[in-house]
Chain A
């Protein structure tokens, strides 16, 4: 047995985890190798000392802190099972909001109130050839209605986006025109959904999701609110996917 192999086996030997054959072979090596025997003796001493280290007690006041922390958790709504839906809804809404905010380019709020077509002002990119205006066809809406929540195809449909050529010498408008035929929420009820306008939410995704998240918090069980959230979230994802300028 080499010294290197003996060194590999030493910890297992000290912990009494070696097979009989390995143990016999190692012990024979240790008898003839003073340096490995010294290493074994020092490691065994170290392990014995570590085994004897005393447990350390935390400060006495820690229990009080823990109890008050538990007390705070008791009154939080997410501890109550009936509000699990609210928790999940809020968490997902927050995650969606983060998803939309992370790309660092945020859709500005559209001041116009005309419902359709939607006009979303894109970011002004500091490049020599600014992005051309992109027109999304109404197919966006039909895609959304028909498609299950499976991942979107990676290849963008060629017919869904039209690029209008722009003279390169002239700084073009940075407007991105989104033609999305946003229908009203089919589940909307006057007393429930009046403040949630899907069209308006889509006009400014980030603000819209914030608004819907607040509505989810206030009314977690409402299918109308969840429908609005779902629609805006999915359309927002579509929008980001189809307008790569916003995803940078």
Chain B
């Protein structure tokens, strides 16, 4: 029997269920399990934040709905992973942005929306805000994420940097470049206004 035990020794630990860990997980999951009402409240409070980021990142309502669904399903299942060191909405933003970047990576050919096409959706009488909405998808994904999170959603640089896994300096630099790109494309609009 000893020889058998010796041979089982290098058995991958991941395959051997750790009963203590399972018990801890069970206690943890049951402690933070949301009721239907609690989940509905969580959804109502954050649905627009999540969906707005997803839609502006992906420029596709169907993809944005899928991402929003993924985010809330994951939030429901993984609420135990939320350590409370940031706001819940910040945690949701992180899941959302990561998911959006995954989607953008998985798109076989990253389709950059041409300026003419983006501007085509904007009529002559469109406001500057509508024009900006139309131009956001023309930004590179990294710049887009920083611009959406900082200038639209109002997150701080250190929060965005942590979410995107970049330095705060890189985050500021990307935001500045995103603004310069948008300002260049919006030049005709801004000249008469600003």
A46 to B56, CA, bound (A): 16
Question: Which of A25-33, A83-91, A239-247 is the contact stretch?
Answer: A83-91
A89 to B183, CA, bound (A): 53
- The A contact surface, by secondary structure, is helix
Q: Which residues of A contact B186 (CB under 8 A)?
A: 42, 46
Contact of A11 with B176 in the complex, beta carbons under 8 Å = yes
| Residue A171 CB within 8 A of the other chain | no
Question: Which listed residue, A45, A59, A230, touches B193 by the CB 8 Å rule?
Answer: A45
Q: Closest residue to A9 on the B side, CB-wise?
A: B176
Contact of A11 with B132 in the complex, beta carbons under 8 Å = no
| Residue B31 CB within 8 A of the other chain | no
Interface centre among A10, A44, A63, A186 (most CB of B within 10 A): A63
* Contact count A vs B, C-beta below 8 Å: 136
Contact of B43 with A66 in the complex, beta carbons under 8 Å = yes
B 32-71 binary contact with A (CB < 8 Å = 1; else 0): 0000100110010001111110011000000011001100
Instruction: Please report the total number of A residues contacting B with Cβ < 8 Å.
Output: 52
**What residues of chain B have their CB less than 8 Å away from a CB belonging to chain A?**
3-4, 7-12, 14-17, 22-23, 25-26, 29, 36, 39-40, 43, 47-52, 55-56, 64-65, 68-69, 72-73, 76-77, 128-129, 132-133, 147, 151-152, 154, 157, 172, 175-176, 179-180, 182-183, 186-187, 190, 193-194
**What residues of chain A have their CB less than 8 Å away from a CB belonging to chain B?**
7-8, 10-12, 17, 38-39, 41-47, 49-53, 55-59, 62-63, 65-67, 69-70, 73, 79, 81-82, 84-85, 88-89, 92, 145, 148-149, 186-187, 221, 223, 226-227, 229-230
A-B contacts, 8 listed (Cβ < 8 Å): A42-B187, A43-B179, A46-B179, A57-B47, A70-B39, A81-B25, A81-B26, A186-B4
